[in-house]
A = this chain, B = another copy of it.
């Protein structure tokens, strides 16, 4: 009953812009579902999300979803398909490297759990933190990472360490066998071939926002 059942018809990798829009569609149809709306047209989605209607139809057709002429998409079916495809319903085991301010905050964020991310362990080099628990997640020493990854079936390593340690941490996570690295530091990191890298540079987004703001002032 996993999403893989349908994968024969779905391309392995969607274009990243499409992938980034799918959660918008999901958020919107979830709201409609909550309001008991039964059908939604591409035109309405387009108005609401400010995306070109033909782009929406194309994005959804990647998932094998096609609307009915004049009626549109059935909200409940669309919601289920998007949720399933996006993987938010499946559990993905992750380890948090760096249990300082940001790492602890992410461990505590129940939103990540709702979106399928299960942080099963934390790692830190600070001996005062190692051995403690944050929101029920145990914090281990760095030397225990290879065993943790194997024992707990960890696929994702999250990096929330100080920027100067980011590459070293990425190296030991990759060596321990994680398949994906989610980098929250503003540092560019390199990973071995075959390891997925995803950057969420919160602080870089700040720089973009500050720049736009200061050009307003001029």
**In whole angstroms, how far apart are the Cα atoms of A20 and B7 in the complex?**
34
Q: Count of chain A residues with Cβ under 8 Å from any Cβ of B?
A: 74
A13 within 8 A of B: yes
Q: How far is the CB of A150 from chain B (nearest CB, A)?
A: 17
Once the chains bind, are B180 and A92 in contact (CB under 8 Å)? Answer: no
A71 surroundings in chain B (CB, below 8 A): none
Copies of this chain in its oligomeric complex: 2
In angstroms, how far is the closest chain B Cβ from the Cβ of A32? 10
**Docked complex: A1-52 residues within 8 A CB-CB of B:** 3-4, 7, 12-14, 16, 19-20, 22-24, 26-28, 30-31, 34, 48-51
Report Cα–Cα, A209/B179, bound state, in Å: 10
Contact B211 A19 (CB under 8 A): yes
Task: Give the CA-CA distance A49 to B120 in the complex, in Å.
Answer: 31
Contact A30/B106 with A209-B156, A211-B14 known, Cβ cut-off 8 Å: no
Comparing A72-80, A141-149, A197-205, the segment that makes contact with chain B is A197-205
Contact partner, A163, options B27, B186, B207, Cβ 8 Å? B27
A172 beta carbon closer than 8 Å to chain B: no
The reply to whether A212 and B105 form a contact with Cβ atoms under 8 Å apart is no
When chains A and B are docked, how far (Å) is the Cα of A179 from the Cα of B216?
A: 9
Question: Is A130 among interface residues, defined by CB-CB distance under 8 A?
Answer: no
Known: A86-B207, A102-B111. A23 touches B186 (CB 8 A): yes
Q: Is the CB of B205 within 8 A of A182?
A: yes
Closest-by-CB residue of B relative to A22 is B207
Min distance, Cβ A111 to any Cβ of chain B, angstroms: 5
Contact residue among B34, B92, B111, B205 (Cβ-Cβ distance under 8 Å from A213): B92
Report the nearest B residue to A200, measured CB to CB.
B205
Q: How many angstroms between the C-alpha atoms of A105 and B102 in the bound complex?
A: 8
Q: Cβ of A23: which chain B residues have Cβ within 8 Å of it?
A: 186, 201, 203-204, 207
- Given A48-B188, A50-B188, A115-B206, 8 other A-B residues pairs in contact with their CB atoms under 8 A: A7-B218, A27-B163, A31-B163, A86-B210, A87-B214, A112-B203, A182-B206, A196-B212
Contact B101 A186 (CB under 8 A): no
